[in-house]
Structure 1
Amino acid sequence: MTGILFLVLLVLLFYFGPKYVWGFEAAYRRKLDAMDDESLMRERNSLVSSLNAGTSFERRRSYSVSFDKYCIVNKKLKSRGFKLPD
């Protein structure tokens, strides 16, 4: 019983870990704060191309992370005064 509970906890940790436990979003936001406008636009364009690459079953997790990054970059660009399409 304890082994099953430990296994479930381990799976949840690795599933939610990069974003919620290890502070992925905070670290990514700090990285974006240090970028200039041109670098932010390059980052946004690379995320758009990775999102348009397709979403097979195996890539669903990376798609979710890429979409989270895309939303963060868009918010950062809008806060700097850029007019972006939705």
Structure 2
Amino acid sequence: MRYSTVGWHIELEFQEDDQHTRAAALLRLPDGTEVRTHGHASRHRIDPNQPRVGEEIAAARALNELAMQLLTKAHGEIDQVSGRTSHPINV
């Protein structure tokens, strides 16, 4: 069996203030479809200011939402082609 290599690139951008971090994720699929998601993180006022940690949490939440949207998209395509309802497995 031969495998072909396919690459997808995800862009992440962050907006931050002293207590909030917002991540925006963008995935462009080879067919031209774009999937956009967001994630948020908030720092409690008594916690130390660690911007990277806020970015990691916000990014993880955006990527988790991206994964869920991709599963929904894939199952919609399966349903359309097969004429039946597919059942996604929870991640």
Indicate the TM-score class for this superposition, using the shorter chain for normalisation.
0.3 to 0.5
Larger fraction in helix = 1
TM-score (structure 1 length as normaliser): 0.36
- Higher relative contact order structure (alpha carbons within 8 Å, sequence separation ≥ 6): 1
Q: Which has the higher strand share?
A: 2
Choose 1 or 2 for highest CA Rg.
Answer: 2
TM-score of the aligned structures, taking structure 2 as reference length: 0.34
